[in-house]
Amino acid sequence: MPSHATYEDVTVDVDDDYVATVTIHRPPNNFFDYKLVASIRAAFEDIDDNPDARAIVLGSEGKHFCAGGDFLSPEEELVAPLYRDAIALFACKTPIVARVQGAAIGGGIGLAMVCDFRVAAPEARFSANFSLLGFHHGMGLTATLPRAVGQQVALEVLYTGRRFKGEEAYQMGLCDELVPLDQLEEAAHRRAATIAAAAPLSIRAIRETMRGDLHALVRAAAGREAHEQYLLETTNDFAHGVSTYFARETQHFTGT
């Protein structure tokens, strides 16, 4: 039966097609922090226990899917809870379709890669911009990105930090379907509804077979990622990278 639930800045709407639409409400950029990731985790866990929800569409309100973490926020990020809940997202048993409009940057691309599929508009922009911040990638991208696009493309994405618009992202395999922006919501729902129409026990069993090791791989990768982030966050390059990247100034990294 259709239902509605709220988790802080996240809502869940389950419809008659057995699709649970999880929407982030932090427009326009939908920057994430540990509270948002915890809310998404809680929503996913409840959906897993809801027999009326057999597939998920993960989307957001506003211009961007998720423009990453807010490095300019005066509030100190709580890294440990964020990583704990981010890793737990991969324990979700229900298939997930990401609906990507605008930017999926930094942690935003990490969030998109949690999902089984990504449906995007040409206006979408994907970027793992960590190297341009003097930082190390997180959100388990070490494990998820090569599975989607291959090792060599993953290296290009992570080394360069450059932005890939929707068409190029589709060609690379960063997204699975590219549709006009005004058809994005319908296309993502249609893909999720097609999954939800299949036998639910079969879908969960198939997903466990195909993705069952991903949670453990992400957990191991995230430990290494967090360690590298800890080492790099005290460097001059990180301070320089954050200040110049967001100010759109020329960058001159020194390796210190």
- Say how far apart CA 201 and CA 219 lie, in whole Å: 26
Query: How much is the average pLDDT of 209-220?
Result: 93
pLDDT digits over 116-159, tens only? 999 999 999 999 999 999 999 999 999 999 999 999 999 999 99
Query: Residue 86 forms beta bridges with which residues?
Result: none
Does 76 score more than 70 pLDDT? no
Query: How much is the average pLDDT of 53-79?
Result: 80
pLDDT digits over 189-199, tens only? 999 999 999 99
pTM of the full predicted structure?
0.94
What is the Cα Rg of the chain in Å? 18
Q: Where are the domains of the chain?
A: 3-181+199-207
pLDDT digits over 35-49, tens only? 999 999 999 999 999
Q: Which residue has the tokens 């453990």?
A: 216
Q: CB neighbours of 152 closer than 8 A, spacing ≥ 6? A: none
Write the CA distances from 136 to 7, 33, 172, 189, integer angstroms: 30, 17, 22, 33
Residue-level length of the chain: 256
Does the domain made of 3-181+199-207 have the CATH classification 3.90.226.10? yes
Nearest to 114 by CA among 128, 95, 129: 95
Structure tokens that stand for 71 in this block: 């490095």
